[in-house]
Structure 1
Amino acid sequence: MRGLITVLASAASLNLCHGSLVLLRDASPEVLAAEALTAPIIVAERALPNSPSGGYAPASVDCPSTRPTLREASSLSQSEVSWLEKRRNNTVAPMQEWLSRMNISGFDATSYINGIKDNATALPNIGIAVSGGGYRALMNGAGFIAASDNRTNNATNTGQIGGLLQATTYLAGLSGGGWLVGSIYSNNFSSVEDLRDGSKGSSVWQFGNSIFEGPDNDGIQVLSSIDYFHTIVDEVSNKEDAGYNASITDYWGRALSFQLVNATDGGPQYTFSSIAQEPNFMNGDTPFPFLVTDERSPNTAIVSLNSTVYEINPFEMGSWDPTTYAMAPLQYVGSNFSAGSVPSNEKCVEGFDQVGYMMGTSSTLFNQFLLQINSTSIPSFLRDIFTNILTNLGEDNNDIAQWEPNPFYHFNNASNRNANSKQLTLVDGGEDGQNVPLYPLIQPQRHVDVIFAVDSSADTDLNWPNGTSLIATYQRSLNNTVQNGTAFPAIPDSNTFVNLGLNTRPTFFGCNASNMTGDAPLIVYLPNAPYVYHSNVSTFDPSYDRTEKISIIENGYDVATMGNGTLDKEWPTCMACAVLSRSLTRTGTAVPAACSTCFDRYCWNGTTDASTPGNYTPAFKIAELSAASSAGIAKMGIYVAALTASFIVMLA
């Protein structure tokens, strides 16, 4: 019965999605020609399907001789400290090469890095944060990662920034940005080019079929839509049969995995903690990945700015906030950590951190559909139906990611808001307003110097960012009850962002470290803007043909490079100056004249204009690739309905 209902609802969803309200986006001949020239590339398959159940369900295992325990979040884990020793050494050569190629006039980057390479505290420490925003965020963020990756074709040519990724220590994502980060690492740190182009027989990053349809029959396995939904339902049922509660996030994460993990059935047996056992990560050859998620208080639909924020990394999950203030070993996170340790008479559990469930946890925003549904274009009778469905989900606590058992049960009882709850309730990491995942990167224990903040948020009526996420993080840093010693540069109001054009071009925040209290990083803000394509598609748009995908990624590449230097040929130099800024201060090195020029050009100088701006409709910065339509906006209401219908029935 469950499978039949699922298939019927899926069919209904497809009818909605392909109704007359859907507008087509056209592709230019140039884009179509570029597609024809694109050769398929083989995407690396994961080598470590290590769930002990052999599938999606967690399973009991013998605990290691040193039984896993929780720890207070007063320092980095020893695992991260040991990893950093390898990674920081491995960033020296690519950083030296990258800085030299960025061509800072009058500055010998090679000599400078050689002089400090044996002192990790003097070396620049780079972080990248990729915002949420559904597939829009995945693809725009992918453009930045592709531009930063020296494996991308032509990314090390003049005007390009390839190699920044190889010099980076940390890479964070949430929601759609978390899909990007999770997919890259789930596929052995494949390049964006490899993931974008895929290979015959793979459904990875093939977004033409939405997750409500399933992959084409020529994918990595032959599945009809009926088989696709049966597979998802059966896998989640196996988790329930093993004694674990299932929520809509289980189905959501499983469906996403078919598009994001290059393995049969989306790799149900792959875990996020297995990243720590991959040779390229173990050897410090890749940055350190994070996903970010928010805690939602029981019996509520609102996530406020003082909600507890959690990070998920290959070693641990937990929160630096003074509320929970604890870290749990991710590999064993499904174990019964009562009061911080697994009882001596109980076994440990592995496999709870299934990679799709981790990506789903960071992007669980079904309660936001309920909060926003009245502003959509859904007909009133459908709005009433879906409001009732979502309300029932919320009442049953199924509209969230249910982490049960709660790893932090009876731990830090005096401050932990969920210390007495056997379930930890987690939702999309951007629901507290911090849609750019800066949280793990601004923790003082990590000493990050510069963060490239890639913002694909839909803050305005037309789905463009206006700095709201940076404002939220700044405001949170001023709240002594949750900030835990984090420092963040001053950020102006969202009206100033629009009125001064700070949301249309790169802007540096926190340029003068001497004017700040605490060890705050320099923020290089990179907002999504229309360089060559209308990349402001809706967060709730679940399908994109190949032309759309390539065009949005290319637009993100142009955001990263300012149109390959077309808008500012000195932009690569200015990026390098941002990377060096804190290091130059620590070593007492004079700021090169070229960097002073860059800082004058890109640093926010404190000017504000809080007057209400007019409608924000940015023009193309270079030249339009295609006649992009407003389909993403028009489809939003329809896809809310489709999303709800397809997944709610799985819980029936």
Structure 2
Amino acid sequence: MLFTLLALAGTVSATALTAAQGYTPTTGAQPRKRLDPLSRRGIDAKRQIVLPSAFRSYLDTVVRAQVQLPAYMYDILWSEDPTQMTTDGIATSGEAYRAAMRNGSSVAVGTCGLLQATPSIAGLSGGSWLVYSLAQSNFPEVQDLVFGENVTGGYSRWNTEYGTLTLYPSTNDTINAEYMNQTVVDITGKYNAGWPVSIVDLLGRSMGRHFLNGTTKTNFFDNDTVHGAGVLFSDLQNVPTFVSRQQPLPIVVADGWSKYPYGPDGGEAQGSQVPPTNIIYEFNAYGVIRQLVAFTPIQYLGTTNESVCVTNFEQAAFIIGSSSDYYAASNSSVCSWITLVNESFTQPDVQLDVALYPNPFQGAGNGSFTEINETYLSIVDGGNDGEAIPIQPLLVKARKVDTLIAIDVNAEANDYAAGGDFIASATRAALFPDAYTFPPIPLNTSTFIAKNLTRRPTFFGCDTPETPLIVYIANGGPPAGQPAVTNTSDDTWTPQLIEAFLDQTFDVATQGITNGTVGARDTEWGSCVACAVVDRERYRQGIARSGVCETCLARYCWS
């Protein structure tokens, strides 16, 4: 296979070079633009312009469930005063396509509209595919995004027929050779311009074919299509629903990896997991945030000094590929990728299983920033620290998040969630008490499993108003009477499997509990979520819980 690929190196069309050029960073003397590090500008604008009507629409949906609500819910959700509005956030975990699949059928259960009233949504690994592709496609229904139905304006559907995490997506060896040859050619311009390249550049180019606008099922292997090369993360700022603040601020989370010893093949020599004290990086439409305290505008990602400005480094596919780079923890599975990069480019001192970013924070900060002296940041899948639910950015005190919906689809026990990544998030938050607040949760997976906390939605923090109230929804097993679908480990998907998966994720997220019976759908579930959303503002106004909110929180709160 490799020899065939190399033999094809001289047969690339001229139009394919457009992809290589589009992927290559450029340098110039443009002034660097300073922005608010936590993107408060966009979130504050959303609060002023969008949230009043968004919460009213959400309330209309909740009311349709015909559950009598306490008067204070109407007062809070109908308020036009930004200081009296609640702030929520959503974090969607990793696990490849399983994390990317979400169901949009929420009107009937009273949760429709909540996403539109959410200021921020964070994704990690497979969750980053969902977050970015939703944002770039003008925020369609997930079914439309996956299947391509009702998607207009140049937006593309996902290409689920081809595995995202495989080196060879076709069953035809010749097509695979051409595919990988083109992927190498696409990143050659970046290499020739003096930038290091790694397997994450190859992975990013694959992400472009699967999730970025412009690639379809019919042109997936077409080398005359640029497949997202030149599509920048900051391009999200021009998407209509982003401009109008109708969609949440999309956040992609990844881990720092650079202070650990590595073997000669680029893999880690001692251990395979990033410790909880690692640096977490946040990529959003405005900038990159390092560990809460350092910020660089995303348009100038790659710039490391004030005299030379770099643009075009913030390739969207490279960033979501960075968040998906779990290979750094399992190097043996990608030896052929590393061999391919090694044989295509001369880089004797470059680590090949991480994403490499010129360090914009070099020399800045203090000793707690382990990468302070590194020329390049080494960035990997945000789940390599065991925290595959990207809730850390939403726990930042400065963001003032009241309610956080944490979606856990990690594969811990029989490919189902067991609470381990949620526990890891709590452990890390406790290490940085000045930055984060985290409610009490069980600190062992045996409690999560024994108490069915991954088999039904659970609220954490009901009695700790100084922390966000976390609505934890985990993929801990199929609903009662249904076959196992959502624990699939497939990387390629048939339409039938996708439909079954979307249907079951909807049931998992909305089944609730009735009379203590796991799997019996709670007809008050939509109202219970709304009660959680307004609970912190209720507390600030000194109002006691009452009615359905009192009974809902008694039913769902962990104590």
* CA displacement at 1:360 relative to structure 2: 0.6
Per chain length, whose mean CA-contact separation is higher, i.e. which structure has more relative contact order (CA < 8 Å, sep 6+)? 1
- 2-side partners of 1:415 and 1:552: how far apart? 43
* CA displacement at 1:2 relative to structure 2: 6.8
Deviations, residues 349-369 of structure 1 (Å, cap 9, x unaligned) = 211111110101111111221
- 2-side partners of 1:591 and 1:495: how far apart? 31
- 1-side partners of 2:537 and 2:176: how far apart? 54
> Do 2:20 and 2:186's aligned partners in 1 also have CA atoms closer than 8 Å?
no
- 2-side partners of 1:130 and 1:394: how far apart? 37
> Do 1:333 and 1:353's aligned partners in 2 also have CA atoms closer than 8 Å?
yes
1:38 maps to: none
- 1-side partners of 2:198 and 2:313: how far apart? 14
1:180 maps to: 130
Q: Counterpart of 2:157 in 1: which secondary structure?
A: coil
- 1-side partners of 2:471 and 2:418: how far apart? 15
- 2-side partners of 1:508 and 1:362: how far apart? 28
1:303 maps to: 274
Task: Provide structure 1 residue ranges, at least 5 long, that are not aligned to the other structure.
Answer: 9-50, 148-154, 218-222, 374-382, 606-652
Q: Counterpart of 2:508 in 1: which secondary structure?
A: helix
- 2-side partners of 1:254 and 1:247: how far apart? 11
Give, as a single letter, the amino acid of the residue that structure 2 aligns with 1:594.
Answer: V
Give, as a single letter, the amino acid of the residue that structure 1 aligns with 2:86.
Answer: P
Q: Cα–Cα, structure 1 residues 274 and 83, in superposed 2: closer, same or farther, change >3 Å?
A: farther
2:398 maps to: 445
Deviations, residues 517-576 of structure 1 (Å, cap 9, x unaligned) = xx311111101131345235465x421222112211221111222289952111111111
Task: Provide structure 2 residue ranges, at least 5 long, that are not aligned to the other structure.
Answer: 9-17, 216-225, 262-267, 514-518
Deviations, residues 241-260 of structure 1 (Å, cap 9, x unaligned) = 22211111110111022111
Q: Cα–Cα, structure 1 residues 367 and 288, in superposed 2: closer, same or farther, change >3 Å?
A: same
Greater CA deviation, 418-427 or 297-306? 297-306
> Do 1:198 and 1:205's aligned partners in 2 also have CA atoms closer than 8 Å?
yes
* CA displacement at 1:312 relative to structure 2: 0.6
Show the 5 A alignment for 1:24-43.
Answer: none
> Do 1:361 and 1:428's aligned partners in 2 also have CA atoms closer than 8 Å?
yes
* CA displacement at 1:102 relative to structure 2: 4.9
* CA displacement at 1:80 relative to structure 2: 4.9
> Do 2:286 and 2:298's aligned partners in 1 also have CA atoms closer than 8 Å?
yes
Structural RMSD (CA)? 3.4
1:249 maps to: 200
* CA displacement at 1:387 relative to structure 2: 12
Deviations, residues 83-119 of structure 1 (Å, cap 9, x unaligned) = 554343453333332343355524246741376321x
Give, as a single letter, the amino acid of the residue that structure 1 aligns with 2:423.
Answer: I
Q: Cα–Cα, structure 1 residues 313 and 538, in superposed 2: closer, same or farther, change >3 Å?
A: same
Show the 5 A alignment for 1:135-146.
Answer: 135-139=97-101, 142-143=102-103, 146=104
2:419 maps to: 467
Q: Cα–Cα, structure 1 residues 251 and 262, in superposed 2: closer, same or farther, change >3 Å?
A: same
Q: Cα–Cα, structure 1 residues 449 and 385, in superposed 2: closer, same or farther, change >3 Å?
A: closer
2:484 pairs with 1:530: no
2:183 maps to: 232
Q: How many pairs are equivalent?
A: 511
Show the 5 A alignment for 1:491-530.
Answer: 491-492=441-442, 493-514=444-465, 519-528=466-475, 529-530=477-478
Structure-1-length-normalised TM-score: 0.72
1:56 maps to: 23
Q: Cα–Cα, structure 1 residues 283 and 90, in superposed 2: closer, same or farther, change >3 Å?
A: farther
Show the 5 A alignment for 1:245-644.
Answer: 245-264=196-215, 265-300=226-261, 301=268, 302-321=273-292, 325-337=293-305, 342-343=306-307, 346=308, 348-370=309-331, 396-403=350-357, 405-460=358-413, 462-479=414-431, 482-492=432-442, 493-514=444-465, 519-528=466-475, 529-531=477-479, 532-537=482-487, 541-562=490-511, 567-605=521-559
* CA displacement at 1:336 relative to structure 2: 2.4
Structure-2-length-normalised TM-score: 0.83
* CA displacement at 1:291 relative to structure 2: 0.5
- The percentage of aligned residue pairs carrying the same residue is 32
Greater CA deviation, 129-138 or 559-568? 559-568
- 1-side partners of 2:330 and 2:348: how far apart? 11
* CA displacement at 1:334 relative to structure 2: 1.5
- 1-side partners of 2:407 and 2:509: how far apart? 9
- 2-side partners of 1:555 and 1:285: how far apart? 27
> Do 2:145 and 2:158's aligned partners in 1 also have CA atoms closer than 8 Å?
yes
Give, as a single letter, the amino acid of the residue that structure 2 aligns with 1:241.
Answer: N
